[in-house]
Amino acid sequence: MIRLRCGETRMEAVVREKRDRVEVIVEGRPFALDVEAVAPGVFASRNGDSVRTFHCVRDGDEIHLFWNGVAYRLVEEGEGRRAAQRHQSGGLEAPMPGKVIKLSVAEGDAVRKGQEILVVEAMKMENAIRAPRDGRVGKIAVKVGDMVAPGVTLVELQ
Amino acid sequence: MVNNPYVALFRKLLIANRGEIAVRVARTCRVLGIPSVAVYSEADRGALHTRETDEAIPIGPAEAARSYLSIDAILDAARRAGADAVHPGYGFLSQNGDFADALAGAGLVFIGPPGSVHRAMGDKKGARRLMAAAGVPVVPGYDGDDQQDERLRTEAARIGWPVMIKPSRGGGGKGMRVVTRAEDFPSALAASRREARAGFGDDVMVLERFVERSRHVEVQVLGDSHGSVLHLLERECSIQRRHQKVVEETPSPALSPEMRSALCAAGVAAAHAASYVNAGTVEFLLDPQGRFYFLEMNTRLQVEHPVTEAVTGLDLVRLQLQVAAGQPLAFGQDRVRGQGHALECRLYAEDPENDDLPSPGRILHLAEPAGPGIRFDSGIAAGSEVTVHYDPLLAKVVTWGRDREESIQRMASALERTAVLGVVTNLGRLRAILAHAAFREGALDTGFIEEHLDEVSPHDCPPLEAIAAALTALRLERRPSVGGVAARVPEPWENLGPWRIGEGEA
């Protein structure tokens, strides 16, 4: 059983190898596709007479897929990881690595949804991080000038 | 004088840039038989641009200020390599007058206009005044020396809302802000000043009336050191986000032949007023009534120069090198004709669904579009790291067609085959722009993305069949005996239109 997540949607799949074919069941629907590797990361999938070229690579637990002109990122989740995903830190995280160049609030401030909390500079652009909801500012874990990485709580929001 | 293409223009050219433009310049060097030298920061070790030249020299840490923006580091690299000319690309030091002067002082040829021209045009305040004096129309605004916050606030109110705040130095949309209400002005001014200080080391601002539903149309100019200035037609760059161009095209669907003549003549007049030498671009704002106003002059090669190359058949980098070597332009204005229509889409590592936030990461897989009328100028390859240190532009997709409809069709099809995996890109937005009825009709303005594509639907899930195919493919990959076929990288010139003029070898 493979558990996949795409954005907020979760799906289950089963992959079975039969003699010369791979059978895949996704969300209960079985597929027996004739897939052929044509170049590194490039595949052709035949379904009856129709052929579709697509691109697919794996990076750790992430599956990157380019299908019909659209790029998708699927995450393969192990048991237990789902519970961790549900846990909301209640804080604001940096969306990308960068440098804090401005703090617009102080601990204890009441903030409205959409209000600028801090500004992180990355790739030469200022990116405002805004309150996702109304609340009160808890602990502020960074100061102006700090380099920050994604996944680290910068400002607690209560 | 006949320009002999078989005599090398320079002994060795150093490319003081990175990414797709460094790769682009290197390709013309190869065509001309000029040995080329790349430079790279620690973050760019092994980057594509360091593999496309004959040599590659490290110039310092990832931080641009200590590598690509360091005049000393570049000069040192040029000396070490024994280069006699430096191409600055765009961005970084390309419009830095001190850099141009420093090279000249060291006996090196700078591929671009002299330092004095950069300084005059890099000061938007002074440029506005110069153009107004030369009879080139400018947007109503404020370009005074009094820069106190209070004075700017008063001037903004006088100009009338909405007002655009623009750093007098700088470019690329950095530090630019549109203010619609007086009460937002102070914080917007402060933010603009902060960005401008950080980006350009200067926080002098120009104010201009923000013309709503305006278009951005620019004229490519080319001057030699013998006093000739030509225009190479216009480009329309109205599709922007955060004041940065996303889609460009030529010819502009907004111009009648009469308007085009007037605009291009104004571009040439502006270049003469600036005593311009080498390739440059005069940017204009075109209002809904068809009036145009000078915005600024870019004293360098533009990101979007390939669309001009596609319709004129000219190699702008080659022309830059010829002019910089002192050669007179080998053709006149009457020989410059646009054939067909060209489009460029900029592929950025950014997430349109998340406020256009940059999306660094590793390129896990790249498939480049190819075919008649398609050009792909790229700075990345599979395995490249996209870091937070530099601009998130990954590549440019350029298409040419006999008419606008054909180049749009080719672009739509090319984007569908441009697979970049590993980082989030704006590909979906580019496809949405191309598919939009307003775009197809040529009804463009600088607010297009906000107006038509602001509500981006969240990441969809792939169809179940796609997931099944992916899981099957990954299972296959674990088996041995899957033959690898190396992806071929096409030369940018392979797929250009067949036109070429005045280059002496036709």
Show residues of chain A in contact with B474, CB under 8 Å: 56, 58, 63
pLDDT of A82 = 44
Chain B touched by A20 (CB under 8 Å) = no
Query: Is the domain of B186 the same as that of B236?
Result: no
| Residue A96, pLDDT score | 72
For residues B365, B368, B369 and B373, what is the CA-based torsion angle, rounded to 10 degrees?
170
Supply the DSSP symbol for B150: H
B195 and B220 part of one domain:
no
CATH of the domain at B164: 3.30.1490.20
Between B142 and A129, the more confident residue is B142
Task: Answer whether A33 sits within 8 Å of B461, measured CB to CB.
Answer: no
The answer to whether A75 contacts chain B (CB < 8 Å) is no
| B338, B204: one domain | no
Give the chain A residue nearest B414 (alpha carbons): A69
Please answer whether residues B374 and B419 qualify as being in contact, where contact means their C-beta atoms are separated by less than 8 angstroms: no
Q: To the nearest 10°, the Cα dihedral for B474, B475, B476, B477?
A: 50
A6, A8, A21, A24: which to substitute to probe chain B, counting the most B Cβ within 10 Å?
A24
**A15 or A122: which carries more pLDDT confidence?**
A15
What span, in angstroms and rounded, lies between the C-alpha atoms of B360 and B505? 43
pLDDT digits (tens, 9 = 90+) for B280-301: 999 999 999 999 999 999 999 9
Closest CA to B502 of B313, B325, B280, B265: B313
Reported confidence tier of residue B374, pLDDT bands at 50, 70, 90 = very high
Q: Do B459 and A6 touch (CB under 8 A)?
A: yes
CATH code for the domain of B46: 3.40.50.20
> Residues B462-502: pLDDT tens digits?
999 999 999 999 988 776 543 433 334 444 444 444 444 44
Predicted local confidence at residue B486, as pLDDT: 38
Q: What is the Cα–Cα distance from B59 to B76, expressed in whole angstroms? A: 8
CA distance linking residue B65 with residue A50, whole number of Å: 53
Residue of B471, B476, B479, B488 to mutate when probing chain A, most A C-beta within 10 A: B471
Q: How far is B241 from chain A (nearest CA, A)?
A: 13
In this structure, which amino acid lies at residue B51? Answer: R
CA of B288 vs chain A CAs: smallest distance (Å) = 30
CATH of the domain at B315: 3.30.470.20
Residue B6 in this model has a pLDDT that exceeds 60: no
Q: Do residue B159 and residue B203 come from a single domain?
A: yes
CA distance B137 to chain A (A): 31
Judgement on whether residues B95 and B178 belong to the same structural domain of the protein: no
Which residues on neighbouring strands pair with residue B205, listed in sequence order?
B167
Interface of A with B in 36-55 (CB under 8 A): 36-43, 45, 47, 52, 54-55
Given this model, what pLDDT does residue B205 score? 96
| B68 and B18 Cβ atoms separated by less than 8 Å | yes
B197 CB within 8 Å of a chain A CB: no
Residue contact B174–A124, C-beta within 8 A: yes
- Give long-range contacts, CB 8 A cutoff, 24+ apart: B252-259: B252/B215, B252/B217, B252/B286, B253/B404, B253/B442, B253/B444, B254/B215, B254/B217, B254/B286, B254/B290, B254/B442, B254/B444, B255/B217, B259/B290, B259/B292
Q: Where are the alpha helices (DSSP H) in B135-256?
A: 149-159, 185-200
Q: How confident is the model over B425-463, as pLDDT tens digits?
A: 999 999 999 999 999 999 999 999 999 987 666 667 999
Contact A144, A108 (CB under 8 A): no
In-domain check, residue B490: no
Which residues, including other chains, have CB under 8 Å from residue A81's CB and lie 6 or more apart? none
Determine whether the interchain pair B474/A58 forms a contact, defined as Cβ–Cβ distance below 8 Å. Answer: yes
For residue B123, is it within any domain? Answer: no
Same domain, B35 and B181: no
Percent of chain B with pLDDT over 70: 92
Closest CA to A94 of A117, A71, A76: A117
Residue B477 to residue A59, Cβ atoms within 8 A: no
Q: Assess whether B405 and B447 both reside in one domain.
A: yes
CA-wise closest residue to B309 among B242, B197, B233: B233
Of B170-179, B258-267, B323-332, give the lowest mean pLDDT range.
B170-179
Distance CA A36, CA B499 (A): 40
Whether residue A39 and residue B485 make contact (CB cut-off 8 A), yes or no, is yes
B462 and A CB contact within 8 Å: yes
Interchain contact, B485 vs A38, CB within 8 Å:
yes
Answer yes or no: do A6 and B416 touch at CB < 8 A: no
User: Confidence class of residue A79 from pLDDT cuts 50, 70 and 90?
Assistant: low
Cβ-in-10-Å burial (0-12, 13-18, 19+) of B6 comes to: exposed
User: Among candidates A86, A89, A85, A91, which has minimal Cα distance to A129?
Assistant: A91
The span from the CA of B260 to the CA of B263, in Å, is: 5
The residue range of the domain holding B55 is 13-111
Residues B250 and B354 in one domain: yes
pLDDT at A78 over 70: yes
A:B CB pairs within 8 Å:
187
- B 218-247 → A contacts, CB under 8 A: 242
Query: Distances from the Cα of B146 to the Cαs of B129, B153, B174, B295, in angstroms?
Result: 15, 11, 22, 21
Q: What is the pLDDT of residues A100-144, one digit of tens each?
A: 888 999 999 999 888 889 888 877 677 788 887 888 898 888 888
Question: Count of domains in chain B?
Answer: 3
Query: What's the pLDDT at B355?
Result: 83
Q: What was the pLDDT predicted at B458?
A: 63
B426 in contact with chain A, both atoms CB, cutoff 8 A = no
pLDDT tens-digit series, residues B19-43: 999 999 999 999 999 999 999 999 9
Assign B278 a pLDDT band (cuts: 50, 70, 90): very high
Average pLDDT of chain B to the nearest whole number: 92
- B367: contact with A, CB 8 A cutoff: yes
- Residue B287 CA to chain centroid, in angstroms? 23
Of B258-262, B327-331, B399-403, B457-461, the range with the lowest mean pLDDT is B457-461
Can you give the pLDDT at residue A85? 42
Closest CB from B357, B461, B485 relative to A9: B461
* Extents of the domains making up chain A: 2-83, 88-157
Report the CATH fold assignment for A2-83. Answer: Glycoprotein, Type 4 Pilin (3.30.700)
The stretch B150-176 carries a mean pLDDT of 91
Closest approach of B69 to chain A, Cα-based (Å): 13
The verdict on B404 and B275 lying in the same domain is yes
**Percent of chain B, pLDDT > 90?**
85
Residue of chain A whose alpha carbon sits nearest to that of B472: A22
Verify whether the Cβ–Cβ distance A64 to B487 is below 8 Å: no
User: What pLDDT is attached to residue B505?
Assistant: 38
* Statement to judge: residues B97 and B176 lie in one domain: no
Same domain, B99 and B182: no
Instruction: Establish if B392 touches chain A: CB-CB under 8 angstroms.
Output: yes
User: How distant is the Cα of B304 from the closest Cα of chain A, in angstroms?
Assistant: 20
Chain A residue with minimum CA distance to B467: A26
Substitution target in B355, B365, B411 with the highest count of A β-carbons within 10 Å is B365
Helix (H, G, I), strand (E, B) or coil at B31: helix
Burial class (CB in 10 A: 0-12, 13-18, 19+), A43: buried
Give tens-digit pLDDT for B339-356: 999 999 999 999 988 888
CA distance to A11, A71, B326, B367, per residue, from B221 (Å): 56, 38, 17, 34
Q: Do A59 and B487 touch (CB under 8 A)?
A: no
Average pLDDT over residues B158-181: 90
The CATH code of domain A88-157 reads: 2.40.50.100
From the number of C-beta atoms within 10 Å of its C-beta (0-12, 13-18, 19+), residue B55 rates as middle
B99 lies in a domain?
yes
Which percentage of chain A shows pLDDT scores above 70? 91
Residue B127 lies in a domain: no
User: Among partner residues B421, B459, B484, which is closest to A55 by beta-carbon distance?
Assistant: B421
Segment B233-254 mean pLDDT? 95
Are B446 and B330 members of one domain?
A: yes
This prediction has a pTM of 0.84
- Residue B3's pLDDT band (cuts 50, 70, 90): low
pLDDT higher than threshold 50 for residue B60: yes
Cβ within 8 Å, pair B471-A24: yes
B506 touches chain A (CB under 8 A): no
Residue B116 resides in a domain: no
